[in-house]
Amino acid sequence: MTDPQITENFTVTMEKFLALACTRLPDDVYAKLKELRESEDSGIQKVLYDAYFENLQQALELGRPCCQDTGLPHFYIKAGASFPWLDMVGPALEEAVRRATGSVPLRQNAVNYFEERNTGDNTGERIPWINWDIVPGGEDLEIITYFAGGGCCLPGRSRAFKPSDGYAAIVQSVFDTVADLGVNACPPLVVGVGLGHNIENAAMLSKKAYLRPLGTCHPHPRGAELERQLAAGLNKLGIGAQGMRGNSVVMGVHIESSARHTATFAVAVNTACYAHRRGLIKFKKDMSWELTGYRGAVL
Ligand code: SF4
């Protein structure tokens, strides 16, 4: 079902939502950064966190992105199978990205692979990246938007292992990723770990993992315990914000998992930076909407 007025209203709302989500960090991320600032005892770390907060405040006051790299736009959608306006969602999101590139503005980051040409409006082949999950019996539309910056994408990796490699392969994958290239991602990081049966499902799970709200944990007690131990261990590396030596290199480690094959398993590690621009908006079937995670925000 399509309706030009509903499509236009949705596009305008999403353009404004993109502006909010790249300007203001969600409340849970902001609170975590505050907490980490208090837990640091070195002067340079406090200066760095204060610079982060000054930057975030200026972004709010000026209505400008909180990082110059506004990344490539990603959308993770949970769509109720009975949501009546599904047909327009993909094209409207693309148009919202196009408009937001000019109005926010967003940095023009989309480059065509084989022509090495910047498309100029942050759209292109399969970009914006849209991941769909259909919710049987549902009537609503839930959209997580995420700005995937270059530096925070750089450390990501995915690899398959033999079962005999054991849990040590998970731990080594996480530590190697953060220790090798984590500083490129502007720590403190949210580390997403995907545990699957091959590299592509592990990679997708690692992304969904870091999109989870901070403070949530894996549903299995052993998964939750591994998250806690990995976060504690990574923070003992002494890397700190921006790699300038401190008590915390991560805001959290989140694991998402699927069943694995008897003969193989896969681990993917994905990092999100301190400017963790993950926004959530929910639409009802009458197209009324609500923001989650931005107290007091208006579009
Ligand atoms: S890693 Fe994040 S904060 Fe650092 S430059 Fe990239 S997008 Fe910005």
- Does domain 4-24+66-149+277-292 fall under CATH 3.30.360? My reply is yes
**Contacts of 109 by beta carbon, 8 Å cutoff, 6+ apart:** 69, 70, 71, 72, 118, 122, 150
Domain ranges of the chain: 4-24+66-149+277-292, 151-272
Distance CA 212, CA 43 (A): 31
Distance CA 181, CA 37 (A): 22
Closest to 155 measured CA to CA, from 186, 189, 181, 190:
181
Helix (H) or strand (E) holding 160: strand 157-161
Taking the model in full, what pTM does it have?
0.96
Q: How many distinct helices (H) and strands (E) make up the chain? A: 8, 11
User: What's the mean pLDDT when you consider all of the chain?
Assistant: 97
State residue 196's pLDDT score.
Answer: 97
Q: How confident is the model at residue 15 (pLDDT cuts 50, 70, 90)?
A: very high
Tokens 């009324």 found at? 288
Q: How confident is the model at residue 273 (pLDDT cuts 50, 70, 90)?
A: very high
Residue 1 confidence (pLDDT) above 80: no
Closest to 183 measured CA to CA, from 65, 254, 271:
271
R_g (Cα) of the chain, nearest Å = 19
State residue 292's pLDDT score.
Answer: 92
Cis bond before residue 65 (omega within 30° of 0): no
Reported as a single tens digit per residue, the pLDDT across 133-183 is 999 999 999 999 999 999 999 999 999 999 999 999 999 999 999 999 999
Tokens 């929910």 found at? 282
Reported as a single tens digit per residue, the pLDDT across 201-237 is 999 999 999 999 999 999 999 999 999 999 999 999 9
Distance 68 CA to ligand 1 centre (A): 8
Distance 152 CA to ligand 1 centre (A): 6
Residue 124 DSSP class: B
State residue 274's pLDDT score.
Answer: 97
- Which of 147, 152, 271, 274 has most ligand 1 atoms within 8 Å of its beta carbon, as the pocket-test mutant? 152
Q: Rounded to the nearest 5°, which phi and psi values hold at 246?
A: -165, -175
- Which of 53, 69, 72 has most ligand 1 atoms within 8 Å of its beta carbon, as the pocket-test mutant? 69
3 state DSSP class of 32: helix
Residue 95 confidence (pLDDT) above 80: yes
State residue 2's pLDDT score.
Answer: 80
- The answer to whether the CB of 250 is under 6 A from ligand 1 is no
Question: In the chain, what percentage of residues exceed pLDDT 70?
Answer: 100
- The answer to whether the CB of 185 is under 6 A from ligand 1 is yes
Reported as a single tens digit per residue, the pLDDT across 227-250 is 999 999 999 999 999 999 999 999
Distance 198 CA to ligand 1 centre (A): 29
Mean pLDDT of 30-49: 96
- The answer to whether the CB of 275 is under 6 A from ligand 1 is yes
